[in-house]
Copies of this chain bind each other. A is one copy, B any other.
Amino acid sequence: MTAPTLADVARAVGVSRTTVSNAYNRPNQLSPGLRDRILAAAEELGYGGPDPVARGLRRGRTGMVGLVYDQPLSYLFTDPAILMFVGGMASVWDDAGTSLALLPRLEADDAGASVLANAAVDGFVSICDVTDDARLAALVARRLPFVMVDHRRSGARCQVVIDDRGGSRAAAAHLLGLGHRRLAVVALPRSPGAPGGTLGPADPGPIRYTVMADRLAGIREAAEDAGLAWDGVPALAVPDDQSPREAARELAGNLLERADRPTGVVAMSDELAAGVVDAAVARGIEVPRQLSVVGFDDTPTATSTAPPLTTIHQPLTARGETAARLLLDGAPAKVVEFPTELVVRCSTTRAPV
């Protein structure tokens, strides 16, 4: 009772395999009558059409693209910014008839490399750090087009990024312009698996996520432009393995209980900003009257919190669409950078006197 193949159908009808193949793929290459007979025979045998895997082998393409991510996949489904981005990609592929394969998370080194080596796809989009070790090698060895998202890297690669540095600089400058002098930063994780905690101002430790590095640099620039001593600005990074909002709530707790409590917080994402607001609310600190908070990304979170967050808008969906189209175009080696924009809502105001 093994599944019938194209050859079985050919035998049943008394024609060649090629003809059956044509009945499915090139209907005008054979007479309509014969085609009907073939389709009828296929139906009767329970043949569901050419096997996609065999076709993929012969044709050299599978109609799938792989999404490379280095966190547990369940995280992906709880991060609004990534979801918007992936949603943007999905809509393009949906129209193109291409499937999006969410690959198992990339672990370090060999296991991750084998995920890449074993994925039956026509191309990759990476939304994580794959620049090191065995993984990049495995990616390159596949000789497939790939688009790197949210990771700047020198060298001729197809990359989609935003102006992280300019955006975070604008965020910090906004607070500074409102008169805030006691600033604090709530930052993204430094690198995969990094624990949370204080970032040293002189040496924040190795930062693998370039988004994080760029945003930090932008904030620092704004602070120094405003004559603020950078080593007086506390910067805390959340750990990599916890819900960002909750992690930020905990971290911000300490920050807000200090004697010299900051009056303005630059958070590197809306989730983090929301966590900071949560922490403030829990302590009876009013936002924005006593504490101003800026987010980043402009996800739905920014408008669903109370108060709605002042944040840095980035075109998440459009970026996803662009990444998808680039991959469909064979991932030409170029860097596409999108601008960011400050959106002032209700979580920031003049520094208290």
Q: A56-B53, A141-B48 are in contact. Are A90 and B119 (CB under 8 A)?
A: no
Report which residue of A52, A66, A143 has the largest number of chain B beta carbons within 10 angstroms of its beta carbon.
A52
**Binary B-proximity of A69-97 (CB < 8 A = 1, otherwise 0):** 00011101110000110111011011111
CB–CB A98/B90 < 8 A: no
CB–CB A49/B120 < 8 A: no
Residues of B within 8 A of A143 (CB): 3, 46, 48
CB–CB A118/B63 < 8 A: yes
Interchain nearest-CB distance for A63 vs B (Å): 7
Partner of A48, one of B57, B100, B117: B117
Give this chain's copy count.
2
Interchain nearest-CB distance for A39 vs B (Å): 12
A99 near B: Cβ within 8 Å?
Answer: yes
CB–CB A73/B56 < 8 A: no
Report which residue of A55, A94, A304 has the largest number of chain B beta carbons within 10 angstroms of its beta carbon.
A94
Residues of B within 8 A of A51 (CB): 57
CB–CB B99/A72 < 8 A: no
A336 near B: Cβ within 8 Å?
Answer: no
Q: Which residue of B lies closest to A95 (CB)?
A: B104
A101 near B: Cβ within 8 Å?
Answer: yes
A350 near B: Cβ within 8 Å?
Answer: no
Q: Which residue of B lies closest to A143 (CB)?
A: B3
Partner of A94, one of B78, B97, B105: B105
Interchain nearest-CB distance for A184 vs B (Å): 25
Q: Give the total of A residues in contact with B, Cβ under 8 Å.
A: 54
CB–CB B53/A73 < 8 A: no
Residues of B within 8 A of A119 (CB): 52, 99
A54 near B: Cβ within 8 Å?
Answer: yes
CB–CB A120/B62 < 8 A: yes
| A107 to B73 alpha-carbon distance, docked (Å) | 27
CB–CB B138/A52 < 8 A: no
CB–CB B102/A77 < 8 A: no
| A64 to B102 alpha-carbon distance, docked (Å) | 9
Q: A residues 296-314 with Cβ under 8 Å of B?
A: 304-306
A328 near B: Cβ within 8 Å?
Answer: no
Interface contacts beyond A47-B141, A99-B103, A120-B120: sample of 13 additional A-B pairs, CB < 8 Å, sorted by A: A53-B57, A54-B57, A56-B57, A73-B91, A73-B100, A74-B87, A74-B94, A76-B90, A77-B83, A83-B83, A97-B115, A100-B101, A101-B101
